[in-house]
Amino acid sequence: MQPTRNLLEAKGLGKRFGATIAIDGLDLAVAEGEVVCLLGANGAGKTTTINLFLGFLTPDTGSAIVDGIDVAESPVEARKRLAYLPESVALYPKLTGLENIAFFDRLAGAQRSDAELAALLREAGLPDEAHNRRTATYSKGMRQKVGIAIAMARRARALLLDEPLSGLDPSAANGLGELIRGLRDDGCAILMATHDIFRAKEIGNRIGIMMRGKLVNVLDADSLDAREIEQVYLTHLQKAGDGQAKGQAA
């Protein structure tokens, strides 16, 4: 069996906003064919980590590396190897799903036919009848599927997901979870920020627990059930709360 390569790496990654430490010495790697879920409350540092990999923020310490490329040194080259799916995919509402993916495809310098783009939408789970409807009529789940299709069109080796399942109904969340697992099985390295312990267990190979900018634990998703993961998470949350209370008292 061939060893897998790390396509996403954080090495001693740190970021401050004034006196606030957003990311504190993060060391993390995501290999090809792997999903790593970052679990944590708001303010834990999940989105900041993703923004550092995207090059939207510059690290104060350490490096964010995409497929061997330091993002801070070569952000354009790093982004060529990335696709990104935010919590709410921004599409042009007056354009159809097919027109949206065609626009982003051409923006990336490609010239796929409508038939090829429709096949990507279909693979992402968007029904044929919706391809030529304006996206203003789409549900959130349908917009997420167009976002996945756009990511697939990029042929990106690494995928960053920031709360992609938030606000989706169970059926849509299940469908998107299947798509993410399919991309993983095709060799994509996926880093997903989430609040959802159940979905993290269902989708992820490993689950990283973040507290106040620190990666405090990394769990093997196959070796624990959702209830056990929740207990580990709550234990860390309680420790973080106790530490904050002691600091304030001092």
175 or 119, higher pLDDT: 119
φ, ψ dihedrals at 206, nearest 5°: -130, 150
Model confidence over 123-150: pLDDT tens digits? 998 999 999 999 999 999 999 999 999 9
pLDDT (mean) for 59-65? 98
Closest CA to 34 of 54, 9, 52: 9
183 or 243, higher pLDDT: 183
Cβ 34 vs Cβ 208: under 8 Å: no
- Residue 1: pLDDT above 80? no
Cβ neighbours, 10 Å, residue 171? 9
- Residue 156: pLDDT above 90? no
Residue 165's pLDDT is 85
Provide Rg for the chain, Cα atoms: 19
Cβ 206 vs Cβ 200: under 8 Å: no
Model confidence over 172-212: pLDDT tens digits? 888 888 989 999 999 999 999 998 899 999 999 999 999 99
Q: How far is CA 158 from CA 27, 139, 153, 232, in A?
A: 17, 26, 13, 28
14 or 1, higher pLDDT: 14
Half-sphere exposure of 85 (CA within 13 A, CB side): 29
> Residue 78 and residue 62: Cα distance in Å, rounded?
16
2 or 161, higher pLDDT: 161
pLDDT (mean) for 38-55? 94
pLDDT (mean) for 92-104? 96
Length of the chain: 250
Q: What is the residue type of 32?
A: E
88 or 23, higher pLDDT: 23
18: exposed, middle or buried (Cβ count in 10 Å: 0-12, 13-18, 19+): exposed
Q: How far is CA 62 from CA 23, 28, 130, 170, 177, in A?
A: 11, 12, 45, 39, 32
Q: Is 173 helix (H, G, I), strand (E, B) or coil?
A: helix
Which two three-digit tokens encode residue 42? 């708001």
Residue 247's pLDDT is 46
Model confidence over 223-238: pLDDT tens digits? 999 999 999 999 998 8
